[in-house]
Structure 1
Amino acid sequence: MTENSNVIVIGGGYAGVMAANRLTRRDDVTVTLINPRSAFVHRIRLHQLVGGSDDAVVDYRDLLAEDVRLVVDSVTRIDAAERSVRLATGGTVGYDYLVYAVGSGSADPDVPGAAEFAYPIAGLEEAQRLRPVLDAASAKAPVTVVGAGPTGIETAAELAEAGRAVTLVCGGVLGPYLHPRGRRSVAGRMAALGVTVLEGPGSEVTAVTRDAVRLSDGRTLPSEVTIWTAGFGVPDLAVRSGLSTDALGRLLTDETLTSVDDPHIVAAGDSAAPSGLPLRMSCQAAIPLGARAADTVLSRIAGEQPSPLNQVFAGQCISLGRGAGIFQFAHRYDVALWFHIDGRPGARLKEFVCQGIVKHLAAESRKPGSYRLHRVSGGTKRQELLRAGRGETPAAAEGGTRATAERVA
């Protein structure tokens, strides 16, 4: 008789849900998903929650396979030696394998006054706290959005389309990922919505007060509501558990997503740093990483060698209010191309992507193993970057990769 394997997945976001569903491919695997919320947070819709056009949550009953046990709780520590996790509500849960998919959130801002007076929106509760603040503010109240990545751009556009007086403070360039052509398109849409975009030298925020934002060039902007979208951070669970991490706290793994400390711990999503070269924070990366993590665990249970990471990217999709958007196409190794789709077709494409993500997760719950996009080749660029980082010749690097994989197996 085959011995049953208990697998815990920590984190019920894009990566965690994909991993949990995929792990049910084997009848001899018991899957437990531990998540602090009873509903799935559709993070790429959080700007819509802020703007009032969506609640950004999906019922787990629509996403999780029936065989996945959902535990609504938080993990306070991983005991790798004992192969168990400690829960916030007390008690421990043992595992044979663990998938670390705790996700990401806002970094603690080191700008004076930002933690006290600015509103982050990287998490559900943060966005929910901001919504009534905006409702209470007058329609003409100045709103400042700090950070010009996708979240900042989407939030600024959403609020401006609703009639708010919005200033977007970039602290650099608008949409750093975008190709210059795509950046010009976004800038044009922002201008049409009436958003004041402050970018370039002097646009870094140096202080936030209750009713203003100060910039590095000396300007003071009136701001009744300041929204903070700059920065990136991950939960410190791996650090608190004594596991090896990168400088930001992401779990260090090899190219099979296996922890460098323990072959029974596998990471996925924003909280993973494979070979110290993490992928861009995005659901586009998280879902395939979740599938890859599950495949690694299943390969180890079967006594097989896990396949290494080989991620492909399509680009970046940004909504610009309900009436427009942009899909910035990219090389498969995640560098923007000149080509993009914008305007109303861009908005339709963004909505198609948002709906498609939920459909991918739900489809995997009904037919585990059906998701295959993580097997599409991302090309040789990642291996080239890894070789360059190690300062090795191609032949030596390939030999080292094989030897490392054999030792971990």
Structure 2
Amino acid sequence: MTGNTDVVVIGGGYAGVMAANRLTQRDDVTVTLINPRPTFVERIRLQQLVGGSDDAVVDYPDVLGEAVRLVVDSVIGIDAAGRSVTLATGATVGYDYLIYAVGSGSADPGVPGAAEFAYPIASLEEAQRLRPVVDAAPTTALVTVVGAGPTGIETAAELAEKGRTVTLVCGEVLGPYLHLKGRRSVAKRLAKLGVTVLEGPDAQVTAVTRDAVQLSGGRELRSTVTIWTAGFGVPDLAARSGLSTDALGRLLTDETLTSVDDMRITAAGDSAAPSDLPFRMSCQAATRIGAHAADTVLARIAVEQPRPINLGFFGQCISLGRRAGIFQFASKDDTANRFYLGGRPGAKLKEFVCKHTLKHLADEARKPGSLTWVKDDERRESLRAKRGEAPATAERAA
């Protein structure tokens, strides 16, 4: 391709910012980042916003390259045939290539009363809406947190450390990702903070009212403030624009992160479903997937064959208030193992990860193309298994 190339990135989260910064490696590429907010959201600190220890926002100049044009608006439609996006203000922006990095948010709870009486915290606006509610509630008010993933655990710990009376309703198990040893460590810390943890078949929420939570076992919990952290969804922009998505609404791509419908559209972060086998939603994955999406676009501009994504994991870190945390180590295929770092060292490592994630973005802004990541060659075998193909070892033996 000759002349200038226009690349539009939809979404200014971890994946979108990383992709936009990395694209500036070429002087003949014009990068436009479209995001509905004028500031970057540290989503991994939203529970701190609710607890009052952080505002969870960063100015874009701190993480976004100077060469990237920031447009504060919302994309309401993608015209793949016309290579343009329509904004909420009515304007259109044309592109040669598009990176779809709209992220994820709260899912429809599908539980009677949850949408009316429970507070989600998957977005900045949701967390900001909840903060004054928590502040206005008496110290003795009963707080129920629904959901036993990292967000639920972190929110419960954050509020309990502030002296709140918190019940964490887990459903089947506390911290499903965690190894049994790590799970026990988290349970011990929550107990020390005074959090009541409910798990098992009788701990499914069946209804939420203004002042109570109903459980599948027939129990009713009194609840002044109910916080909903169970499950995430993705925006329906791709589906509304006629692009192929998975059941959750993530853009379907091949292993290079290219849309199965259009080679000029790639996906990154939580809203990408490569080979209908998406990675775990996390900032750890989002930055690396964002970088690879940019690499795919740059390869196409250079008339080269894009490489399939090869992404390995380290584990999962969870804060347990400001004075404790856990880093659950994992194999490269994102399977938790028996090793973990807990207590005060776990808290310090979690804070290091939070700060270092921003540093990765800032470093990429200053030196685009610098981010590297751990590989996982086992993904190819996962894809073979999904497709019902023979394993590579059997092919070699033949």
Cα shift readout 1:223-245 (whole Å, capped 9, x = no counterpart): 00000000110000000000000
- Alpha carbons of 1:395 and 1:352: their partners in 2 closer, same or farther (altered >3 Å)? closer
State the match for 2:367 in structure 1.
367
Judge conservation of contact 2:385–2:391 (CA < 8 Å) in 1: no
Question: Does residue 389 of the first structure (1) align with residue 348 of the second (2)?
Answer: no
- Alpha carbons of 1:388 and 1:145: their partners in 2 closer, same or farther (altered >3 Å)? same
- How big is the shift at 1:394? 3.9
- How big is the shift at 1:2? 3.7
Cα shift readout 1:286-309 (whole Å, capped 9, x = no counterpart): 000000000000000000011101
- How big is the shift at 1:378? 1.1
Question: Does residue 260 of the first structure (1) align with residue 260 of the second (2)?
Answer: yes
Identity of aligned residues (%): 78
**Residue identity in the other structure for 1:133:** V
- Partners of 1:332 and 1:170 lie apart in 2 by 27
- How big is the shift at 1:389? 1.1
- Residue ranges of structure 1 left out of the alignment (5+ in a row): 399-409
Judge conservation of contact 2:364–2:370 (CA < 8 Å) in 1: yes
**CA-atom RMSD in angstroms:** 1.2
Judge conservation of contact 2:381–2:392 (CA < 8 Å) in 1: no
DSSP 3-state at the match of 2:328: strand
- Alpha carbons of 1:250 and 1:396: their partners in 2 closer, same or farther (altered >3 Å)? farther
- How big is the shift at 1:397? 12
- Partners of 1:192 and 1:394 lie apart in 2 by 47
DSSP 3-state at the match of 1:311: coil
**Residue identity in the other structure for 1:63:** V
- Partners of 2:138 and 2:94 lie apart in 1 by 52
- Partners of 2:393 and 2:289 lie apart in 1 by 27
DSSP 3-state at the match of 2:321: coil
- Partners of 1:378 and 1:50 lie apart in 2 by 36
State the match for 1:11 in structure 2.
11
State the match for 2:200 in structure 1.
200
**Residue identity in the other structure for 2:25:** R
- How big is the shift at 1:392? 1.5
Cα shift readout 1:238-261 (whole Å, capped 9, x = no counterpart): 000000000000000000000000
Question: Does residue 79 of the first structure (1) align with residue 79 of the second (2)?
Answer: yes
* 1:183-194 equivalences in 2 (<5 Å): 183-194=183-194
- How big is the shift at 1:83? 0.3
Q: Give the counterpart of 2:376 among 364, 367, 378.
A: 378
- How big is the shift at 1:363? 0.5
- Partners of 1:197 and 1:393 lie apart in 2 by 44
State the match for 1:172 in structure 2.
172
**Residue identity in the other structure for 2:190:** M
TM-score normalised by length of structure 2: 0.98
DSSP 3-state at the match of 1:93: strand
DSSP 3-state at the match of 1:138: coil
**Residue identity in the other structure for 2:377:** G
- How big is the shift at 1:103? 0.0
Judge conservation of contact 1:387–1:397 (CA < 8 Å) in 2: no
- Partners of 2:393 and 2:54 lie apart in 1 by 51
Judge conservation of contact 2:63–2:358 (CA < 8 Å) in 1: yes
- How big is the shift at 1:396? 12
Judge conservation of contact 2:253–2:272 (CA < 8 Å) in 1: yes
- Partners of 1:215 and 1:175 lie apart in 2 by 19
- Partners of 1:47 and 1:379 lie apart in 2 by 34
DSSP 3-state at the match of 2:106: coil
* 1:9-408 equivalences in 2 (<5 Å): 9-373=9-373, 376-380=374-378, 382-394=379-391
Q: Following TM superposition, where does structure 1 have runs of at least 4 consecutive aligned residues deviating by more than 4 angstroms?
A: 395-398
DSSP 3-state at the match of 1:170: strand
- Partners of 1:92 and 1:395 lie apart in 2 by 47
**Residue identity in the other structure for 1:329:** F
Judge conservation of contact 2:78–2:86 (CA < 8 Å) in 1: yes
Number of residues of Structure 1 aligned to a counterpart in Structure 2: 395
TM-score normalised by length of structure 1: 0.95
- Partners of 2:222 and 2:180 lie apart in 1 by 30
Cα shift readout 1:262-303 (whole Å, capped 9, x = no counterpart): 000000000000000000000010000000000000000000
- Partners of 1:54 and 1:209 lie apart in 2 by 30
**Residue identity in the other structure for 1:393:** A
- Partners of 2:201 and 2:350 lie apart in 1 by 31
Judge conservation of contact 1:270–1:286 (CA < 8 Å) in 2: yes
State the match for 1:401 in structure 2.
none
